[in-house]
Chain A
Amino acid sequence: MRDWLDARTGYRALIKHLLDEPLPSGVGWWFVTGSIVLFLLSVQLLTGILLAIFYSPSPDYAYDSVRFIMERVTFGRVLRGLHFFGASFIVIAAIVHMLRVVAFGSYKKPRELNWIVGVLLLLIILGFALTGYLLPWDQKAYWATTVTLNIARSVPLVGDALSGVLKGGTELGALTLMRWYAAHVFLLPACLIAFTVAHLYLMRRQGISGPVKAVPGPPTPFYPYHAIRDTIAVAVVFALLLTFAIAFNAPLDAVADPTDATYVPRPEWYFMSLFELLRHFPGPFEPVATVIIPGIVIALLFLLPFLDRRPDRAPASRPLVIATFMFVFTGIAFLTVLGFRSTPAPSSATQAAARLGATPGRRGPVMVEDVFKNVQALKGITVDEFMGTMGIMSASLGLCCNDCHPGAGTDEVVWEADTEPRKVTARSMVLMMQAINRDNFSGRQVVTCWTCHRLRLTPVDTPRLDQFYGEAINELDAVISKAAGVPTPMQVLDKYLQAIGGSEKAAGLTSIAATGKVVAFGSFGGGGKFEYFAQAPDKRAMLSHLPDGESSRTFDGRAGWFAIPLAVVPKYPLTGGELDGARLDAQLSFPAEIAHSLTGLRVGPVTEIDGKEVYLLQGNGARGSFASLYFDRQSGLLARIIRYTPSKIGKVPTQVDYADYRDVDGIKFPYRWIVTWLDGRDEFDFGDVKLNVPIDATKFGEPTLPPR
């Protein structure tokens, strides 16, 4: 069979030709670097193909598919690790190979063209690293690519066009992901293979340069005398790479969130120097960092064999070349170190999430899959958002937890069990609702559980004539528009500040410390005492000491926590919308802060609360959250705040009703609060209220719970 094949292809002669390459005497271990790069490129190609089998290049599924690879595919975690860490290994190996070529003067005549091909290969490798970034569609992917696109935009003359080509659409989205994916898996591999073949062909055609000073002796065949060195070096590198892939998870942040203004992009180490360089050339000087300096370095690399044309290869006789390379690489190393020092560490909320047991090796908030089993339709969201979605379902259908989770509220509950068909139906409904919004409303949440259910298990499908011909129902939607014939937002706020004691008094309010009695969960949670602390501009803590344990909501200006007794998750850090909501709660504790806390203020039509006319003032918070503030039309006092935070299946409202205003040090303070949210209702009656007193900062931090 082999003879038959050889007679037709001549493969034996080809193999002999490839393996019996004569190598000059003295070729040693320095000459294994090229083989290491070649091997690592092969590993990248193989693992890339395997990852592509499972990866889905669309914003809807990219992140889920990467998580699927990490968590469900056999050896998926290791394969992604090999691919991820392999990228760093290749960059290192390619640079070491290049330095070896420079040190040995191997770029000199007649190998100039092969040097140029090698530089092109290095740029292609960096292109792989850049385009591979976006594919997991996590926070790092999104924000690092945003930075890249903006860097591209700073290129003089063609910046906008270049950024447009890279982006593909008006926003960083599906079209961007598709074209970066296409570049990563089709265009760049094709270029890589073509230039690698050219590099090897030219290497064979010109022969290996060999030692700087010729070593006397006849040449030896490549195989097996040098191949054994290559193989051992490759084995060592592979063992190291495999160890990394097994010991460490390739990082995966939370899913990309284009509205997260708090995320600080931190590039991979091999782009850190460029990232850092950008810091030192702000504004109109940006092109110096993005185009001119990198352009000069790349141009010097390409031109090296033509600038240094003397045949002498010894490093000592080429001090300018060696010094230039040392200067450039020292500069890159210095900028890299500087970059790592100046990029802030993850936020305290992230660290809190890590303490609470998020997946090891993955930064980011506590995801629902990390805590609950058998989550299907609502994967990829944080625990606090998930709890909000559960509240939306129960409030929309008028159900309790145990209607879908038999035994909820007792020790007998098995949250993950699917014994109740209603739970299975709920999943289909979530999917249906998302499909309706996606297919008909461009993904806006126009249809939610509440749209149809309205506290009923089965939606009403027939118009009721008595209602149609009866009294009109004027139900305001959550989002309002500016109404005509009402005061301006500033007039409403001024009246409020006057009503509580004047704007000067309000501006002087810097802290509140109070205690009182609480009845929790509409008396289901029992009665107890509470402590309330607020520190301007944005710290707040509500700590309730209940018969079943501690219930607390805290926000320290950056991170927030929620703890509740007898819950499936007793304590979790707030993220996303709930974190924004906690910040808003804290800011709105100080009347003078209201105007600064909300944007897009508008006053809606006059409405009523308990028969009293109120002005409805609405404003926007961060990331899709917003708040409605109801001010008594007559007294000007604040009667109610409802703040809304976004979730995967609708807006999550939290309402606070204020009453019983009393004078404290010249400021009117509401002594009765009723806090209502989707899962409960707490009534707070304040007893002792102190203003402008020092408060221990630890009160606003992560609450400490007694052991369960």
Chain B
Amino acid sequence: MPIETPTGDATRRRFLSSITSGILSVIGGILGVLGGGAVLSSTVRRQEDWLAASSLHDLPVNEPTAVTLSMMRVDGYREALQRRTIFLVKTGESEVAAFDATCTHLGCLVAWDAQGQVFKCPCHGGIYDRTGAVKEGPPPEGLIKVSTRVDGDKVLVQA
């Protein structure tokens, strides 16, 4: 049976087609925005707390000391205990510097080599000096500094 293309026609057909496409585009757009917004939403905001990391008198002067911090972190809809290793370096009577122990190359944990007086990454040979600056190897930047403050005998770090 022949299909009738109503009279008028190419114009009417184009008009109806464009309205159909327009409405469906709006619906698709709304759903796209809602879905895209959900998928791209930055729901995890980094939290930072001042955490007690050590007592001041336990730290040797100018000798990096590894400390593992345990902290509650929001992981979506749950809270998880996260651990983070940092190095504390007592640089004065009541001054302490802190570095994150994560190598800036590919994320392995560095260790303090007391003999060579450098931080060494076991993965790809990155080497940092006592101040966290890159000495050798592939790391693109120095160890990330962590804010510290001293409250009496307590060394607090912002992590």
| Contact yes or no, A46 B72, CB < 8 A | no
Expressed in whole angstroms, the Cα–Cα distance for A223 and B27 within the complex equals 18
| Contact yes or no, A56 B77, CB < 8 A | yes
Contacting residues, chain A, for B79 (C-beta < 8 A): 376-377, 379, 427, 431
- Does A13 interact with chain B (Cβ within 8 Å)? no
Q: Can you list, as one digit per residue, whether each of B70-90 has a CB less than 8 Å from chain A (1) or not (0)?
A: 111010111111000000000
| Contact yes or no, B39 A67, CB < 8 A | no
Q: Which single member of A43, A219, A231, A424 contacts B23 (CB below 8 Å)?
A: A231
- Does B24 interact with chain A (Cβ within 8 Å)? yes
Expressed in whole angstroms, the Cα–Cα distance for A228 and B43 within the complex equals 39
Q: Which single member of B3, B50, B78 contacts A61 (CB below 8 Å)?
A: B78
Q: How far is the CB of A524 from chain B (nearest CB, A)?
A: 29
| Number of B residues, CB within 8 Å of A | 42
Q: How far is the CB of B69 from chain A (nearest CB, A)?
A: 10
Q: How far is the CB of B22 from chain A (nearest CB, A)?
A: 9
**Contact count A vs B, C-beta below 8 Å:** 122
Given known pairs A61-B78, A421-B156, the reply for A218 and B1 (CB within 8 Å) is: yes
Expressed in whole angstroms, the Cα–Cα distance for A238 and B19 within the complex equals 16
Nearest B-chain residue to A63, judged by Cβ: B77
| Contact yes or no, A221 B52, CB < 8 A | no
Given known pairs A224-B13, A421-B50, A432-B81, the reply for A53 and B3 (CB within 8 Å) is: no
Contacting residues, chain B, for A224 (C-beta < 8 A): 13, 16-17, 19-20
| Contact yes or no, A76 B72, CB < 8 A | no
| Contact yes or no, B24 A231, CB < 8 A | yes
| Contact yes or no, A217 B38, CB < 8 A | no
A31-73 contacts to B (CB < 8 Å): 43, 46-47, 50, 53-54, 56, 61, 64-65, 67-68, 72-73
| Contact yes or no, A74 B43, CB < 8 A | yes
| Contact yes or no, A424 B34, CB < 8 A | no
- Does B51 interact with chain A (Cβ within 8 Å)? yes
- Does A11 interact with chain B (Cβ within 8 Å)? no
Q: How far is the CB of A416 from chain B (nearest CB, A)?
A: 12
Given known pairs A228-B19, A421-B50, the reply for A50 and B77 (CB within 8 Å) is: no
Nearest A-chain residue to B24, judged by Cβ: A231
Contacting residues, chain B, for A227 (C-beta < 8 A): 16, 20
- Does B4 interact with chain A (Cβ within 8 Å)? yes
Nearest B-chain residue to A62, judged by Cβ: B77
Expressed in whole angstroms, the Cα–Cα distance for A682 and B23 within the complex equals 69
Given known pairs A73-B41, A234-B27, A242-B30, the reply for A64 and B72 (CB within 8 Å) is: no
- Does A419 interact with chain B (Cβ within 8 Å)? yes
Contacting residues, chain A, for B51 (C-beta < 8 A): 421, 424
Expressed in whole angstroms, the Cα–Cα distance for A377 and B70 within the complex equals 14
Contacting residues, chain B, for A68 (C-beta < 8 A): 43, 76-77
Q: Interface of B with A (CB < 8 Å)?
A: 1-6, 13, 16-17, 19-20, 23-24, 26-27, 30-31, 33-35, 37-41, 43, 49-52, 70-72, 74, 76-81, 154, 156
| 3 cross-chain pairs, A with B, having the tightest CB-CB distances, nearest first | A74-B41, A68-B77, A224-B16
Complex A-B: 27 CB contacts under 8 Å: A22-B1, A50-B34, A50-B38, A54-B76, A61-B77, A64-B78, A65-B76, A68-B76, A73-B43, A74-B41, A79-B35, A79-B38, A218-B1, A219-B1, A221-B3, A224-B13, A224-B16, A228-B16, A231-B19, A231-B23, A234-B23, A235-B26, A377-B79, A379-B79, A421-B49, A421-B52, A424-B49
